[in-house]
Amino acid sequence: MPTFTLDGQRLAYTVHGAGPRVVVLLHGLLFSQRMHERLAEALAERGNRVVTLDLLGHGESDRPLEMWRYSMPEFAREVIALLDHLGVPEAVVLGTSLGANVTLEVADAAPERLRGMVIEMPVLDNALLGCAIAFTPLMAALTVGEPAMRAVARIARAIPRLPWQADIVLDAVRQDPAPSAAVLQGLFFGRTAPPRARRRQMRTPTLVIGHQHDVVHPFSDAGELAAELPEARLLQAGSLLELRVAPARLTREIAAFVDDCWKPRRARKRAVAS
């Protein structure tokens, strides 16, 4: 797995396919780049060079214990550094959950590097209570209950590889709990996303994907974000798992959006106007 270094920390990535049309895929919290493996393969088959990245503290990237290293703006800096490392002036960036918010931070910090963005399951204002309910016990388990969680990780690592959908979940459990706790603590005390006023100024073409019945990723957040962004449209997924277990429809929509992003900008503007 290729890597590059930022601030002395090693970041791992994988390239699927080839060509000038670059798409970067960003995983969810405590997951790894394997989360988007199937989508990366599908988009690569359609003529894109697809790069999946393990953000710091995740997957095969380094996992330092200092919580100050983990924040949405810092994760965005890693994405921009990846583009620099690859010599890529601009890309379409797709992020899920944590990755969705990181993508918004990339748009805030370096909009000129984005050809388009796909925001799947953003975590914004309406998710605050759900996130507190879901992640506070997990953070406590990873810190106060670290010895027990370390034993669970050892057991998980002894389990043979499972089918992909189950194994990407087990990968998160296999990790040493201390760096995972640092990730959660860093994010807990940092900003969740660029402020609403900043989001309203983002003119990057955007596909927002959300679904119903999820307190951590409420559909209302996806809807409000699509309304805030001047060049966004909203796509409703059937469930949290659709893109992972029955991906055909959403993959077609994402691939078509990527195709549109890589059209010459004048042609794309004429198509939007018509």
pLDDT in tens, 250-261: 999 999 999 999
**Predicted pLDDT of residue 162:** 83
Q: Over the stretch 100-131, which tens digit does the pLDDT of each residue have?
A: 999 999 999 999 999 999 999 999 999 988 99
Average pLDDT for 264-273:
60
**Is it true that domain 3-273 has CATH number 3.40.50.20?**
no
Scored b (16 or more CB within 10 A) or e, 251-262 reads bebbbebbebbb
Rounded CA separation 26/105 (Å): 12
267 has pLDDT over 60: no
* pTM for this predicted structure: 0.94
Helix/strand/coil for 52: strand
Average pLDDT for 223-252:
97
Bridge-based pairing of strands 114-120 and 232-236 is unpaired
Instruction: Flag the least confident range among 3-17, 58-72, 116-130, 160-174.
Output: 160-174
Q: Are 13 and 82 in contact (CB under 8 A)?
A: yes
**Predicted pLDDT of residue 268:** 56
Average pLDDT for 142-166:
88
**Predicted pLDDT of residue 29:** 97
Q: Calculate the average pLDDT of the chain.
A: 94
**Predicted pLDDT of residue 266:** 64
Q: Are 200 and 183 in contact (CB under 8 A)?
A: no
Beta strands in the chain (DSSP E): 3-6, 9-16, 22-26, 49-53, 91-96, 114-120, 206-210, 232-236
Q: Are 221 and 126 in contact (CB under 8 A)?
A: yes
**Predicted pLDDT of residue 166:** 84
**Predicted pLDDT of residue 108:** 98
220-225 long-range CB contacts below 8 Å, 24 or more apart? 220/126, 221/122, 221/123, 221/124, 221/125, 221/126, 221/127, 222/119, 222/121, 222/122, 224/124, 224/125, 224/126, 225/119, 225/122, 225/124, 225/199
